[in-house]
Structure 1
Amino acid sequence: MAPTGPFRLVTVNTAPERAKRLIGRVVEDVKDQYTIIHIANAASIDEVRQTVEEAQPNVLFTASMWTPEEAQRIIAIAKEVVPDLKTFSLPQGLQVEKGPDAVVEYIKEHLPAVLG
């Protein structure tokens, strides 16, 4: 079966290089199931609207440094631009408490529900 996609992904992460690296690992690990293209990262809540307008993603991930309230705000802003956007928020503190491998595994575990 051919992979599902392509999915155009924007991440919201204050550490763009880390976001790129982690998403790169996820993309590589799931390439048989999904085609995911990491097209942009917004490094702050203030950058979300412009990034989403320019990139026109169909998926947005918020990183684990955001509080649930911040993640909700990011998603609300993004959905004003792309109403049918699929979104996924990592639990706050996951990267700090469990490290990058846990983040990659958590994303892979939840991808089928997100990309459904």
Structure 2
Amino acid sequence: MASSYPLGPFKLVSVNTVPERAKRLIGRMVEDVKEKYIIIHVANAEKLEDVTTVVKQHMPDLLFTASMWTPEESQKIQEMARDIVGPQLKTFAIPQGLQVKEGPDAVVAYIKENLPGLLEAK
């Protein structure tokens, strides 16, 4: 049975070398899904070496890696974060190059399309 109120709140940390873009794209996504999910973008790590500090500071429920990271880099970032938060951390990697190839609308659409599976999985 679907609930009539949004799931969450979920604390989200993004890993994006362009923090303003991360803030803008995640802000759009959060606004678009607010009827179903409460997502709070608590921080962005700009560099690989910032991930541990940012994750320890915020202990997020969600971690998104941006499309500038290779699949291997995204996996490493996710493993670093899981080592701190634990296996309950939900992670999501935007496919490498999506922002460059298809633009910000495609990134927002891709996240929204995959969010239910990520947030509602048991």
Gaps in structure 1 of 5+ consecutive residues: none
Q: Which residue matches 1:20?
A: 23
SS at match of 2:34: coil
1:8-28 deviation per Cα after TM superposition (whole angstroms, max 9, x unaligned): 000000000000000000000
State the shift of 1:114 in Å. Answer: 1.0
State the shift of 1:30 in Å. Answer: 0.3
Q: What TM-score does the superposition give when structure 1 sets the normalisation length?
A: 0.99
State the shift of 1:78 in Å. Answer: 0.3
Partner Cα distance (2:119, 2:47) in 1: 24
* Aligned residues with identical type, % of pairs: 62
SS at match of 1:49: helix
- Aligned letter for 2:63? L
1:69-109 deviation per Cα after TM superposition (whole angstroms, max 9, x unaligned): 00000001000100120000000000000000000000000
Structural RMSD (CA): 0.4
Alignment of 1:6-85 (within 5 A): 6-83=9-86, 84-85=88-89
SS at match of 2:10: strand
Q: What TM-score does the superposition give when structure 2 sets the normalisation length?
A: 0.94
Partner Cα distance (1:33, 1:65) in 2: 28
Q: Which residue matches 1:99?
A: 103
Gaps in structure 2 of 5+ consecutive residues: none
Aligned counterpart for 2:5 among listed residues 2, 5, 14: 2
- Aligned letter for 1:112? P
Structure whose alpha-carbon radius of gyration is higher: 2
